[in-house]
């Protein structure tokens, strides 16, 4: 039997917290839970799959703006999270009214814990109940996948393949293309396709309605809350490109978790079925061939030949992007959305653990468009450890291999730890490198050996390095930030979180060690270069 939210709220581990439902009360009775999770991270939504009971102590909410709190609730609701629990008390006195309003509007159950309880105890107790249910769901999902594969092997239609899944999960299914065309549909036993309980005509019919979920991880895009059942949307890719959406309409008395698990488990079968009916177009094939040629450094004539077929003008100003992650295939859909928004034409390609992309930018304002692309990539939901590099602007397709190569060099330096001091820490799980900001480091890594680099740094900064080693001071960091700020003492003091007077004292000591104030002299550039090389 599905485990419902109202049942869990009556469990002894939760009643000890004196819970009160502050919003979304109408959805509590019908909300089925898949897992209990605890996190203080406000950007957690992209990492969730839907159906979670999310516990938070509210530490991050205390310092967040009202707009960020509302966005937090909105993102969780869009992701299909079962309910949000916020513990109030010493840190967070009460639930912000903005969050309560946002949760009520989104239909997301928002629960306040008025007493402190150990979250680990709740998670252990409730998740142990959910595990046995999950095993049953996985077994039935595997049965559905196997039976659908048999239908596919026998050449059955999409309606017949979907009917297998519909019968097992007791829900109405519809498979739609990204343009909203119905490709196939099926209902549970006794209900024909398009009958009672069918998805509404506008549900998931537009490409822009797609959720955050990756396509090959089989995570749901959007999922509705309510007492009349639930809608689960799952993207279905063909060759890594979102090509259709499976819409599952689970009735009010149905098992939402089974539908979610089985639907995700069967995406590969549906992808194969679509592949038989939707062969890749010339543009997609040419785009893949073009990026493979760019990556391998093919002759310019070959790039000139492939570029028009891929829809990318050979003379366009373009930029290469490289993403290194264990989920490169899953990120491709999100990357394509960003490219569509920021570039005039683009192509993407997954090469093992690397996601490669090429974006053609407007001839007028290419630099601004590149800056917008870098900013957009910083918002990309990624797994921990993901590293992204945006190459320099390339003047035409012949320079595209150089842009891609420079991006890969920057990633190599960063992954080896070489750029630790040169790359600012990120607040997210991933790092986005703007290669244009690392020109000195790339030049030194490619054309200066370690010995000459160390000699140059020692000659320019020897006394400063010795002072830091003896006194455990941070004069080198101070000098580096001051130089990077354009010798703006006030700005450097803010970045270092020190008083301006302390900053002046540090600079005076640095000038004494370096032979005087370098401003207005030829030594300024040498010192700046030395601080950048020291980071290597």
Give per-residue pLDDT as tens, 94-152: 999 999 999 999 999 999 999 998 999 999 888 888 887 778 888 888 898 999 999 99
Axis crossing angle, helix 267-277 with helix 256-265, rounded to the nearest 10: 50
Mean pLDDT computed over 445-461: 80
pLDDT-derived band at 27 (thresholds 50, 70, 90) equals confident
Alpha-carbon gap, residue 437 to 423, rounded angstroms: 9
> What is the pLDDT, as a whole number, of residue 385?
82
Q: Percent of the chain having pLDDT more than 90? A: 26
E-strand spans in 95-216? Answer: 110-113, 172-177, 182-186
Assigned token pair, 437: 């900001």
DSSP labels, 433-480: EEGGGGHHHHHHHHHS-HHHHHHHHHHHHHHHHHHHHHH---HHHHHH
User: Which residues are CB-contacts of 71 (< 8 A; sequence separation ≥ 6)?
Assistant: none
The mean pLDDT of the chain is 82
> What is the pLDDT, as a whole number, of residue 83?
92
Residue 206 confidence (pLDDT) above 60: no
Global confidence as pTM: 0.46
Least confident residue range of 128-142, 175-189, 412-426: 412-426
Mean pLDDT computed over 204-231: 41
Mean pLDDT computed over 231-240: 80
Residue 28 confidence (pLDDT) above 70: yes
Mean pLDDT computed over 302-308: 88
218 exposed, middle or buried (CB, 10 Å; 0-12, 13-18, 19+)?
Answer: buried
Q: What are phi and psi of 110, to 5 degrees?
A: -115, 120
**Which range has highest mean pLDDT (249-258, 266-275, 316-325, 343-352)?**
316-325
Axis crossing angle, helix 158-169 with helix 119-153, rounded to the nearest 10: 150
Q: Name the CA radius of gyration of the chain, rounded.
A: 28
Mean pLDDT computed over 51-62: 89
Mean pLDDT computed over 440-457: 78
pLDDT top residue among 427 and 100: 100
Q: Percent of the chain having pLDDT more than 70? A: 87
CA atoms within 13 A on the CB side of 342: 25
Residue 201 confidence (pLDDT) above 50: no
Q: Residue written as tokens 């797609």?
A: 210
Alpha-carbon gap, residue 226 to 377, rounded angstroms: 34
**Is the distance from CB of 303 to CB of 397 less than 8 angstroms?**
yes
Residue 425 confidence (pLDDT) above 80: no
Query: 109-147: b or e for each residue (b if 16 or more CB lie within 10 Å)?
Result: bbbbbeeebebeebbeebbeebeebbeebeebbeebbeb
Residue 49 confidence (pLDDT) above 60: yes
Q: Residue written as tokens 């993207």?
A: 235
Query: 475-500: b or e for each residue (b if 16 or more CB lie within 10 Å)?
Result: bbbbbbbbbbeeeeeeebbebbeeee
> What is the pLDDT, as a whole number, of residue 178?
67
pLDDT top residue among 391 and 442: 391
Alpha-carbon gap, residue 327 to 352, rounded angstroms: 9
H-helix segments, 343-399: 366-378
User: Which residues sit opposite 85 in a β-bridge?
Assistant: 55, 111
């Amino acid at each position: 039997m599905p485990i419902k939210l109202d049942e869990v709220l009556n469990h002894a581990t939760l009643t000890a917290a004196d819970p009160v439902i502050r919003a979304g009360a109408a959805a509590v009775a019908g909300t089925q839970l898949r897992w209990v999770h605890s996190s203080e991270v406000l950007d957690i939504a992209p990492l969730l799959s839907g159906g979670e009971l999310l516990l938070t102590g509210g530490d991050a909410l205390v310092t967040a703006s009202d707009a960020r709190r509302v966005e937090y609730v909105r993102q969780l609701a869009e992701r299909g999270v079962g309910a949000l629990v916020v513990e109030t008390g010493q840190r967070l006195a009460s639930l912000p009214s903005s969050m309560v309003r946002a949760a009520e509007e989104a239909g997301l159950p928002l629960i306040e814990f008025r007493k402190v309880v150990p979250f680990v105890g709740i998670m252990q107790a409730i998740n142990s109940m959910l595990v046995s249910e999950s095993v049953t769901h996985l077994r039935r999902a595997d049965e559905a996948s196997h039976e659908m594969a048999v239908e596919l092997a026998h050449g059955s239609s999409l309606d017949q393949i979907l009917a297998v899944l519909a019968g097992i999960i007791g829900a109405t299914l519809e498979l739609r293309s990204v343009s909203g065309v119905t490709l196939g549909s099926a209902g549970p036993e006794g209900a024909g396709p398009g009958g009672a309980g069918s998805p509404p005509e506008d549900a998931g019919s537009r490409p822009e309605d797609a959720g955050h979920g990756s396509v090959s991880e089989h995570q749901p895009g959007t999922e509705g809350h309510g007492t009349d059942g639930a809608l689960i949307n799952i993207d279905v890719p063909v060759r890594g490109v979102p090509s259709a959406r499976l819409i599952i309409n689970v009735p009010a008395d149905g098992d939402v978790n089974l539908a979610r698990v089985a639907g995700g488990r069967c995406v590969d079968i549906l992808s194969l079925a679509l592949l038989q009916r939707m062969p890749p177009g010339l543009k997609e094939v040419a785009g893949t061939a073009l990026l493979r040629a760019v990556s391998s450094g093919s002759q310019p004539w070959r790039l000139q030949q492939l570029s028009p077929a891929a829809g990318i003008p050979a003379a366009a100003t373009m930029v290469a992007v490289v993403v290194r992650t264990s989920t490169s295939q899953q990120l491709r859909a999100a990357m394509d959305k960003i490219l569509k928004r920021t570039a005039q034409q683009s192509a993407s390609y997954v090469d093992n653990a690397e996601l490669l992309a090429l974006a053609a930018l407007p001839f007028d304002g290419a630099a601004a468009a590149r800056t917008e692309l870098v900013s957009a990539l910083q918002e990309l939901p990624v797994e921990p450890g993901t590293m992204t590099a945006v190459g320099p602007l390339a003047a035409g397709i012949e320079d595209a291999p150089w842009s891609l190569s420079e991006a890969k060099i920057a990633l190599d330096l960063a992954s080896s730890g070489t750029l630790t001091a040169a790359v600012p820490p990120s607040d997210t799980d991933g790092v986005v490198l703007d290669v244009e900001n690392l020109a000195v480091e790339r030049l030194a890594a490619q054309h200066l050996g370690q010995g000459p680099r160390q000699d140059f740094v020692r000659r320019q900064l020897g006394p400063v390095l010795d002072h830091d080693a003896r006194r455990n001071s941070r004069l080198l960091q101070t000098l580096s930030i001051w130089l990077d700020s354009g010798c703006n003492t006030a700005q450097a003091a803010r970045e270092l979180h020190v008083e301006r007077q302390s900053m002046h004292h540090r600079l005076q000591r640095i000038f004494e060690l370096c032979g005087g104030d370098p401003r207005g002299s030829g030594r300024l550039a040498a010192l700046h270069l030395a601080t950048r090389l020291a980071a290597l």
